[in-house]
């Protein structure tokens, strides 16, 4: 008499074991992901320093409402002269508080402790900020320099500040800063200058 053994029962046990371990690994994975995501602190603050840097820079040296020089050219296809702005050409007499102040409107103060969400000095300092210091610091520092040759060969240049520095931000502590070569137009002469911008 020949007996045929069925392996059907063994196959069901293997399938149940695979299923059990697969479900176990999926549960462990989900618990690990959930515990990781609970401990992740999400920073919702927008870092807009690059945007501020571009806006302030463009306002000052690329807008004829601020410091850029507006010129007119005549063309043969039009009876009227065409206005255009020469970006980077700055008139020295326009580098004053009365011109630069309105151009920097909207970038006045750092809104750390002056933000309405801070109702008191204690709530601001609990965030690690110095109340008195933050009330006076501005978001920017803007300085215009005129470059003067120190040697006849033009190998060394010396900077002299034009008017003053606008804004109270310390550039040494700023992470976003830049210096750009510009043309300073003084009456009929054009000199080389530097536009320095620092953003909080």
In a domain, 30, yes or no: no
Q: Are 166 and 155 in contact (CB under 8 A)?
A: no
pLDDT-based confidence at residue 77 (cuts at 50, 70, 90): confident
Does residue 18 fall inside a structural domain?
Answer: no
CA 95/CA 93 separation, integer angstroms: 6
What is the structure's pLDDT at 110? 54
Judge whether 84 lies within some domain.
yes
SS3 content of the chain, % helix, strand, coil (to 5): 35, 25, 40
Lowest mean pLDDT among 2-6, 49-53, 62-66, 81-85: 2-6
- Cα–Cα–Cα angle for 144, 178, 175, nearest 5°? 125
Cα 14 to Cα 11: distance, rounded to the nearest angstrom: 5
Residue 112 counted as domain residue: yes
Structure tokens belonging to residue 86: 């020469």
SS3 of 33, please? helix
Q: Is 12 part of a structural domain of the chain?
A: no
The count of structural domains within the chain is 1
pTM score above 0.85:
no
Reply yes or no on whether the pLDDT at 111 is more than 80: no
């Amino acid at each position: 008499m020949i007996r045929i053994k069925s392996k059907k029962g063994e196959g069901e046990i293997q399938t149940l074991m695979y299923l059990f371990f697969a479900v176990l690994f999926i549960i462990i994975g989900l618990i690990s992901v959930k515990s990781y995501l609970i401990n992740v602190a999400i920073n919702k603050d927008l870092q807009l320093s690059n945007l501020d840097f571009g806006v302030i820079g463009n306002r000052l040296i690329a807008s004829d409402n601020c410091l850029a020089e507006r010129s007119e050219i005549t063309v043969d296809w039009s009876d009227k002269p065409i206005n255009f702005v020469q970006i980077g050409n700055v008139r020295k007499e326009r580098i004053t508080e009365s011109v630069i102040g309105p151009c920097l409107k909207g970038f006045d103060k750092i809104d750390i402790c002056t933000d309405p969400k801070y109702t008191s000095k204690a709530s601001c300092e609990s965030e690690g900020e110095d109340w008195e210091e933050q009330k006076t610091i501005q978001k920017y520092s803007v300085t215009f320099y005129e470059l003067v040759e120190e040697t006849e060969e033009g190998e060394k240049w010396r900077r002299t500040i034009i008017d003053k520095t606008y804004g109270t931000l310390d550039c040494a502590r700023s992470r976003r800063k830049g210096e750009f070569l510009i043309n300073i137009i003084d009456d009929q002469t054009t000199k080389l200058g530097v536009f320095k911008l620092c953003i909080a």
